[in-house]
Amino acid sequence: MKLKDIYALFVKEGIRLDPRSTAQVEQYLKDQKKSYRALSAKDKKFFDSETMTNPYSDTRILHGDPNREIRRILVGIDIEPGEIAIADQLSLRGDEIDLLLAHHPEGVALAGLHEVMHMQTDFLKNAGIKDSIAEKLMKSRIDQVSRRLHSANHTRSVDAARLLDIPMMCCHTPADNHVSTYLQKLMNAKKPRTLKHIVDLLMKEPEYRDAVLNKAGPEILVGKAKDLAGKVYVDMTGGTEGSDKIFARMSQLGIDTLLGMHYSEAHYKNIKAEGINVVNAGHMASDNLGMNLLLDKLTRKADVEIVECSGFKRFER
C-alpha cells in the first residue's frame, strides 16, 4: 500500500470512530475551508491545507514520498532519533524499513497538538455542559498547552528521518479515538458494578495484561475496589489532558467514574475533591490498544509487516 493510502485510511477510520457526531466533525472541516477562502493569496501559502480534509492536526506524513510503496513498518509509541538510527541499521543488514510510524506526534504534528484539543470542547457540550462554560474552560487549557509546545524542538526527529531518507508519519488522535470508543462501548455493554470489575474487564485485553507484567498496568487511582462504578466516562482522546477545573461539572452531570490513561497531579487533586472515582488504565497500554485496533484495519487491507519498537507490542484481534 502506498504511504498516502495508509495516511488516508488512518484519517478515515479516525473520523469513523470519533466520539463527536459526524455533523460536528464535518462542521470543523467546513470551517477550515471557509477560513482558507477568506485569506489573501499571500496568506494562503502559509495555511495548513491538510486541515481541510484531516481534522486531526496531530496526525501527518512527516517525511517521504506519498506514492512510495510500504511493505515493512517500524511502529513505536515514540519515534525519535534513536529509533530512526535503529531503522537505518535494520535496513543496512537487509531488513529494510519502508516507514517509521509513531503514535505520539513529532514535527508539525507536535507543534499543532493543541489544535486537536478543540474536539474536547464538543465532548463537554455533548455531555451536557453549557456551551460558554465548555469553551471558556477548554480555551484556558488549550492556550496553556500551546505556550508549552511553542518553544519545543519540534523538527528534531523529522530532521533525522530526512537525513537518512526514511519515510515517517505519526498517528495520534485517530488511534486514541479507537481506544476511547472501544472501551466506552465495552463499559456501556458490560455495565461494571464496581471499580474492581472495571479493572477485571481491562485485564481481558492483552495490552493491559502485558502492561501488568511491566508494572504499568491498570490501577484504581481514586476510590476503592469495592466502590460502585456507576456511570463510567472514558476519557482517552482529544490531544492531551483537558481542563483540570471541569470535574465539578462532571459530577453534577452524574458521571461517577472516569476511565483514563493518565492524569497530572493537578487533575488528580481536583478529581479527588469532587468525589469522582478514577481508574487509570495506563498510558502505554492504552496507546498500544488504540494502535493495534487501527493496525488491524491496515493489515486486513494491505500486505505489510509490522516491526515493534519503542513501547509498542503488536496484538492482533
Look up the pTM and report it: 0.96
CATH tag, 178-283: 3.40.1390.30
- Whether the Cβ atoms of residue 236 and residue 180 lie closer than 8 Å to each other: yes
CATH tag, 3-174+287-309: 3.40.1390.30
Residues in the chain with pLDDT < 70?
none
Here the cell at position 138 is 477548554
In this predicted model, what pLDDT tens digit does every residue of 192-224 receive, in sequence order?
999 999 999 999 999 999 999 999 999 999 999
Here the cell at position 26 is 464535518
Predicted local confidence at residue 96, as pLDDT: 97
Q: What is the mean pLDDT of the chain?
A: 96
**What is the number of helices (H) and of strands (E) in the chain?**
15, 9
In this predicted model, what pLDDT tens digit does every residue of 57-81 receive, in sequence order?
999 999 999 999 999 999 999 999 9
| Burial of 183 per CB tally in 10 Å (0-12, 13-18, 19+) | buried
- Whether the Cβ atoms of residue 202 and residue 260 lie closer than 8 Å to each other: no
- Whether the Cβ atoms of residue 1 and residue 301 lie closer than 8 Å to each other: yes
- Residue ranges, comma separated, of all CATH 3.40.1390.30 domains in the chain are 3-174+287-309, 178-283
Predicted local confidence at residue 39, as pLDDT: 97
Which residue is listed with cell 498517528? 171
Angle at 245 between CA 189 and CA 109, to 5 degrees: 75
